Amino acid sequence: MKPYVIINAAMTVDGKIDTVERKGAGISSAEDRRRVLELRASVDAVLVGGHTLNSENPKLTVKDPLLAAQRLAAGLPENPAKVGIVTRAELDPDGDFIKAGPARRLIFTTPQTSAEQLAMLTAAGVEVLVHDGKRVDLGLALETLETLGIKRLMLEGGGTLIAEFIRLGFGNELQLYVAPKLFGGANAPTLVAGDGWSESEAKTLALVEVRVLDSAGGLLLCYLLQK
């Protein structure tokens, strides 16, 4: 068994999730940021990949006292669990992934993560699971999360991890905010990275919702991922 996986992302009209500078450019509107917080508050865990984890050190918390109180009133932790999948972890011990909370924190990684980093993570209270091999086994990671009580999982990127989840058929739903912006750049990161697929292998989606989310013209597109 695996959790139900909701892929959530924001991109520009030209499909970029960041500029060529790769510094975490702002894409979402205030309305979309609120939607994301509400989505986070509805899941058991929030997952990010290696670049997001190491470079952006995200909080991944609900950040809103009312949403946190609603979770507590429902018998849930104040924040969903924070999960990172990273080949080589290089986290700042004082960064937000570790410090912001309270929240359960889990890292799936490989032997490429240094012994010093593993010791730091463990000492900081992070649950570390090391998979043999060059990359984390995503199927095994999801099965592990399910055994830990994670039934609904929100995947927040980046593009490489999103591509792998879609390629392997592990994504169930895509919620996509499309901002009325153009970043351009052949090397700017896109929503789905990886090696790509041929036309005959293209992944298909079933549209379930289209909504204008803000006065600037940002759109929310919701799809089911077809197996």
Q: What is the pLDDT of residue 227?
A: 67
Round to whole Å and give the CA distance between 83 and 106. Answer: 5
Q: From the centroid of its chain, how far is CA 35?
A: 15
Query: Could you tell me which residues come within 8 angstroms of residue 24 by beta carbon, excluding any fewer than 6 positions away?
Result: 18, 55, 56
- Residue numbers of the chain with a pLDDT score lower than 50: none
pTM value?
Answer: 0.95
- The torsion of the CA quartet 4, 35, 202, 169, rounded to 10 degrees, works out to -10
Q: What is the pLDDT of residue 226?
A: 80
CA nearest to 41, candidates 9, 15, 67, 11: 67
Q: What is the pLDDT of residue 59?
A: 95
CA torsion sign for 195, 199, 204, 207 is positive
* Ordered domains of the chain (ranges, CATH): 4-225 (3.40.430.10)
Give the ranges where the chain is alpha helix by DSSP (H).
Answer: 30-41, 50-51, 65-73, 96-99, 115-123, 138-147, 159-167
